[in-house]
Amino acid sequence: MKLNVTHQTHYSYAQQVKHSTQYLRLTPQDSSHQKILSWDLTLPEYATRTLDAYGNVLHVLTLDQPHQAITIVANGVVEIEDNREDDNTGHLSPLVFLRTSPLTQADGAIRDFASRYYRPQAQHESLCNLMGELLLKMPYSPGSTTVKDSASQAFSAQTGVCQDHTHVFLACCRSLGIPARYVSGYLYSEDSTHVAMHAWAEAWLDDRWQSFDVTNNTCKPNQHLKLAIGIDYLDACPVRGIRLGGGSEDMRTVAAVAMLDVPQ
């Protein structure tokens, strides 16, 4: 399927910002799962393009002049290949993704939960089962957590969004000795109320990365467009920045993913 993606992020500040730097992981890459037909970033100034430590396309946007607002727009068309995982294993050893972080640290409750459903002789099947049980324990509930909440906090509260589901699943996998990484991207849904920005996990099984979307209880990334990977949300979030001055901040983001008609 061909998908058209539009993603706008707008920052406004109570006072003038003297200096700001935005780190943008807003550019997807080609793989066996996705082919980038067109992709553009509309930015207030020129941004330096590079690759980060995980191989993600990273644009660094620096604004040295005083400003009170920033608008960042990503737009493009991508073709998704159904039932095909990303074949790009990256330049890092999967063992890197056994490393934990404050957002993905497994506590006793998470370790107990993971060991209850995991069977070493049936890794994929048992992780799929664990994923389903996790969604039952932590129903999707927008606004119930913040980006600062850790896996243990969300698991204890028994609620969360895709970011929380992914962090807890990563904590489970790593506690079991299975490399697992955070994925940020977009999700197409026929439900117009569905949030287009999305997060899911990939676990290293059978010498390849395999997808686990806890929020949608699926292992098939047929409607998923990958942007970036990392240890957790902070490594892979589409927009992250620092600033000097500005006072209070208001950030608004709108993302839409639409299927393009395929000529018969």
- Both tokens of 32, joined, read 């066996």
- Under DSSP, the state recorded for 216 is T
Q: What is the pTM of this model?
A: 0.93
Residue 176 is predicted with a pLDDT of: 97
Residue 71 is predicted with a pLDDT of: 96
Closest-CA residue to 9 (of 57, 50, 41): 41
Looking at domain 2-82+238-259, its CATH architecture is Sandwich (2.60)
Task: Considering only CA atoms, give the Rg of the chain.
Answer: 19
Q: At what angle do helices 123-137 and 162-175 cross, to 10 degrees?
A: 140
Residue 200 is which amino acid? W
Q: At what angle do helices 123-137 and 108-117 cross, to 10 degrees?
A: 130
- Both tokens of 181, joined, read 């990484």
Q: Within 54-142, where are the H helices? A: 108-117, 123-137
Distance CA 183, CA 46 (A): 26
Mean pLDDT of 239-260: 92
pLDDT for 264 beyond 50: no
Mean pLDDT of 86-108: 91
Q: Answer yes or no: same fold for 2-82+238-259 and 94-234.
A: no
pLDDT for 263 beyond 70: no
Distance CA 70, CA 251 (A): 9
Instruction: For the chain, give the percent of residues with pLDDT over 90.
Output: 85
Distance CA 160, CA 256 (A): 22
Mean pLDDT of 217-239: 94
pLDDT for 86 beyond 90: no
pLDDT for 232 beyond 50: yes
Residue 194 is predicted with a pLDDT of: 60
> Buried (b) or exposed (e) across 116-135, using 16+ Cβ within 10 A?
ebbeeeebeebbbebbeebb
pLDDT for 43 beyond 50: yes
Indicate the CATH number for domain 94-234: 3.10.620.30
Element (H, E) at 169: helix 162-175
- Under DSSP, the state recorded for 193 is T
Instruction: For the chain, give the percent of residues with pLDDT over 70.
Output: 97
Contact 131, 217 (CB under 8 A): yes
Distance CA 162, CA 244 (A): 31
Contact 161, 151 (CB under 8 A): no
pLDDT bucket at 40, cuts 50 / 70 / 90: very high
The pLDDT tens digits of the residues spanning 176-193 come to: 999 999 999 999 987 655
Distance CA 51, CA 91 (A): 12
Residue 90 is predicted with a pLDDT of: 77
The pLDDT tens digits of the residues spanning 64-83 come to: 999 999 999 999 999 998 77
- Both tokens of 194, joined, read 């569905």
pLDDT for 30 beyond 90: yes
Residue 199 is which amino acid? A
Range name among 101-105, 141-145, 193-197 with the lowest pLDDT average? 193-197
pLDDT for 93 beyond 90: yes
Domain locations in the chain as residue ranges:
2-82+238-259, 94-234
Distance CA 15, CA 32 (A): 46
The pLDDT tens digits of the residues spanning 204-225 come to: 999 999 999 999 999 988 899 9
